[in-house]
Amino acid sequence: MMDFFKKLKDFIVNTSQDERIPSRDKKIILALVALLISPFDIIPDWIPLFGLLDDVIILSIVLDYFFTILDSRILLSHFPWDMKAYARLRTIARALQIFVPNFLKKKLWSYVGDPY
C-alpha cells in the first residue's frame, strides 16, 4: 500500500514539474489535490451523501483535466502504472465527467493540446 502512495506522490510531483503544462493549470491542479486530501471540506463529511459530493466533484475535475484536457502523451510519460490501470482510470474519469460542467472547464484550464 505504501508503494501505491509513493508512486501516486511521484506521479503528481513529476506531472506538476512538466514544462509542457501551463503554470496556471499546475497551480489549480495542486490546489484541488490539496483540497481533496485536506481534512477541511466545503460540505462537511458528516452530512450524509452531500458530505462526499464536494470530494467527488473535485476528484472529477482533476481526473477530467488529466484524461480529457491534457495530452495523453504527457500523462503517459509520467504515469507509473501499466496500461490496464490507465484504461481503468480513464473509464472512471469519463464516467465522472457528468459532474464537471463545460463552462467550468473553459474557465479553469488554459492548456491547449497539440493539434496533431
Name the pLDDT band for 1 (thresholds 50, 70, 90): confident
Name the pLDDT band for 85 (thresholds 50, 70, 90): very high
Cα of first residue to Cα of last residue in the chain, in angstroms, is 38
The model's pTM is: 0.85
Structural domain spans, the chain: 47-109
Structure confidence at residue 115 (pLDDT): 67
